[in-house]
Amino acid sequence: MNSSDNSDITSLASEESSSDISGPVQYDSTFANKPSFLRRISTGLSIQSERLRDFNDVEDDQYRDLLASSNPLEDDQGDFFGAQMSRSITRAKSRSDLEDFPIAYGGEGAEDGDRKFVPAPPQRRKSTVVSTIQAITKKMGFWDDDFHADRIKIIVTFLSNYLYLLIGFVIALCIYWGSYFDRTSRYKDLKFAVIIGDSQVGDLPPILGETVAAFFTNVTAIKALGNYHIIDYKTISEAALSQNSTINEEVYRQIHHQKYWAAFYVKENSTLQYYQALKSASSNFNTGETLLELVFETGSNFNAVNNYIQTIVGTLTKAFYSFVPQTPFHATLMGLLNDEEKLNVMNNSPQLVTSIPTFRWVDNIPVTNQIFTGALTIGLIYLVIFSFFQFVFSMSIHAYIASKITGIRYLVFRMLASQVAYLVISLSFLTLNRVFGIHYNVTFGNSGFFVIWAFSFLTMSSLGSLIEALALVCAIFKPQLIGFVMLIVAVFNVAPTVSPIVLCPKFYRYGYAMPVYNTYELMHVAYFNSWKGRVGLNIGILCAWILGTNILIPFVMVWKAKKQDAMVAAAAAAAAAAAAAAASSENNAADASNTSDSDSNHPEDSEETNRDIKDEN
């Protein structure tokens, strides 16, 4: 490339230099009809210069006002995300201007004096905003190599989540289902009373009482259905005398005090009554109403009696009706009659010989409203659940108050706020029960409203404080486990409550100390007027839970605060260490770059050093 060529081209930079052109300029026919790129550059520079002159004409005060009225951050963002990004994205991909005019930017053979202006080669500006956005929004396939570390992290996270879920799932179901495990083998632990009120009168032996006692003593098939306590006439009469009551009243008292689940009661002088009916050939004597009774109370344990006791005693009575015809019961009684009396019975009252004495079912506390199925099972579970929800819904409020007050005042506020929430929710529990037809005045009259409200409050307070303490601990180690806290607490309380503890494995004896179980018994007292002998114990257990968990909460809160401070300090230290490491790495890189630049700027020194080393060798 010769200098004349360069001068010809560079002369296009300005019209003022056209007088220096010594001869015509030859152009390639390819660009004959295309405007000069240098001319476009010069035109743009002149326009820009005019704009700069216009801008410089603005007075200083106006300039300051202009700056004061603008938001630098918004202006920068508008520039970055407006014109620049639009130009970078929408510009067509074509041959560069440098390719169109390769001679204009060569400049190798040109002298400084041959041209007045040689612009730098125009290059497309690489937008850092665009590249950043593209890097952030880049989509990768799950199996891409660049996604390898993230893929491993995702898989490990999923596996750990599944592990936690499976552990919680297994614990919850094992506790609940475990209460039903091999239950039929523990039916023999159910205590039933066989009370023989029948006695010998003169020469007449207690035939009916002996027949009933023989059934529960000698029939091995029924041994697996209960534990039968035979109480003879002497024992029951002495117990009735000590209570200044009749035998019949003493039998009812034994059941009401929950000493037995049910009593198979042979009434006093039953054999004598049967014998007299045969002797007189009475057509009005009913063997199913006057001789035998099956006494129980549904209101003593609604779920247990409905689901188990009634079924078991029904099976026992059916077995007894099959047993009596195999005994000499009727033959023995008929043998006490003369021929004329026997003939009279067969002619006038044959049912006395063909019928079998049956047990009359006596439910001293019947429960006919089946809504109690929900109130005494699911309703108690909801008390546990909503005591947890109270904690969840109040977390933001507690966090705000914690930013305003500290120390003992915050602790007092937090515990009082929880207790007020328990009062409100327990009141709604009682109100809903009343709306669905559950009366509260059976035992305590109109005061029963406040009694049941108090029982519900004690339950929620004992459970809520426990759940809150456990949730605070989980919040430090793994917040996702807070839901499991509610579930596990609910299962631990409900499993030994909805089923008789006596039918559960021995592990479930812990249920006697659980808040829900004690509330379950208190609700039977309040709603059904069941035995009040354990009311004091039940309330004492609930109060012990409330006292213990509320004493525990301040210590847990202090521990949580210290643990959080330690975690924040550790995170800050780790961040500072990482920043120092990054700064050190940048400094090392800068030093290396400076060293490299120094070597490249003085190649003769490096060559001379290399020659010296070779000479020495």
| Of 195, 215, 179, 175, the residue nearest 304 (C-alpha) | 179
Does residue 594 lie within any of the structural domains? no
Exposed / middle / buried, residue 278 (Cβ in 10 Å: 0-12, 13-18, 19+): buried
368 burial (CB, 10 Å; 0-12 / 13-18 / 19+) is exposed
Give 288's pLDDT tier (boundaries 50, 70, 90): confident
Q: What is the pLDDT of residue 597?
A: 58
**pLDDT-based confidence at 513, cuts 50/70/90?**
very high
In degrees rounded to 5, what are phi and psi of residue 230?
Answer: -85, 120
- Is residue 559 within 8 A of residue 469, CB to CB? The reply is no
Tell me, yes or no, whether 87 and 190 share the same domain: no
Among 293, 295, 277, smallest CA distance to 355 is for: 277
Q: Are residues 295 and 170 in the same domain?
A: no
In a domain, residue 160? The reply is: yes
The Cβ-side half-sphere exposure at 361, using a 13 Å CA radius, reads 13
Residue 7 contacts by C-beta under 8 Å, 6 or more apart in sequence?
A: 20, 21, 22, 110, 114, 115
434 and 458 within one domain: yes
Domain that holds residue 270: 183-363
User: Domain tally for the chain?
Assistant: 4
Over pLDDT 70: what percentage of the chain? 73
Instruction: Supply 168's token pair.
Output: 């919680």
Residues 126 and 162 in one domain: no
CA 121 to chain centre: 66
Confidence of residue 21 (pLDDT cuts 50, 70, 90): very low
| Mean pLDDT, range 229-252, rounded to an integer | 94
Q: Are residues 172 and 194 in the same domain?
A: no
Res. 433: pLDDT tops 90: no
Distance of alpha carbon 22 from alpha carbon 4, whole angstroms: 9
Residues 6+ away with beta carbon under 8 Å from 537: 518
Q: Are 495 and 181 in contact (CB under 8 A)?
A: no
Give yes or no: residues 202 and 59 share one domain: no
How far apart, in whole angstroms, are the C-alpha atoms of residue 251 and residue 240?
8
User: Could you tell me which residue, 604 or 361, shows the higher pLDDT?
Assistant: 361
| Cα angle value 460/461/463 (rounded, 5°) | 65
Q: Do 198 and 160 share a structural domain? A: no
- Max avg pLDDT among 148-152, 477-481, 518-522, 612-616: 518-522
Which of 288, 291, 257 shows the shortest CA–CA distance to 276? 291
Q: Where are the alpha helices (DSSP H) in 257-394?
A: 270-280, 302-304, 310-323, 329-334, 339-348, 351-354, 372-373, 379-393
Domain boundary at 363, 397, 413, which?
363
At 157, is the pLDDT very low, low, confident or very high (cuts 50, 70, 90)? confident
Residue 142 confidence (pLDDT): 66
**pLDDT at residue 220 is higher than 50:** yes
* pLDDT of 587 higher than 50: yes
Assess if residue 383 is contained within a domain. Answer: no
pLDDT attached to residue 316: 95
Q: Under a CB-based contact definition with an 8 Å cutoff, are residues 418 and 469 in contact?
A: no
pTM over 0.85: no
Residue pair 244/254 in contact (Cβ under 8 Å)? The answer is no
> What is the secondary structure of 109-169 as a DSSP string?
S--GGG-S--PPPP-----HHHHHHHHHS----TT-GGGHHHHHHHHHHHHHHHHHHHHHH
Q: What is the pLDDT of residues 439-450, one digit of tens each?
A: 888 999 989 999
Spatial CB neighbours of 367, under 8 Å, sequence gap ≥ 6: 298, 299, 302, 306, 528
Q: Can you give the pLDDT at residue 85?
A: 34
Q: How far is CA 538 from CA 44, 475, 510, 523, 533, in A?
A: 94, 32, 14, 11, 10
Does 332 share its domain with 191?
A: yes
> In the predicted model, is pLDDT for residue 94 greater than 60?
no
**What's the number of CA atoms in the CB half-sphere (13 Å) around residue 265?**
25
Question: Do 113 and 28 belong to one domain?
Answer: yes
Question: How do residues 388-404 score in pLDDT, each as one tens digit?
Answer: 888 788 878 878 888 88
Three-point CA angle 77, 80, 82, nearest 5°: 90
Give the residue ranges of DSSP H helices in 364-447: 372-373, 379-393, 395-404, 408-435
Identify whether residues 90 and 170 lie together within a single domain.
no
Whether the CB-CB separation of 318 and 384 falls below 8 Å is answered with no
d(C-alpha 404, C-alpha 371), whole Å: 46
Statement: residue 310 has pLDDT above 70: yes
- pLDDT digits 0-9 by tens, 352-366: 888 899 999 999 999
Q: What is the C-alpha to C-alpha distance for residues 39 and 27, in angstroms, rounded to an integer?
A: 15
In a domain, 581, yes or no: no
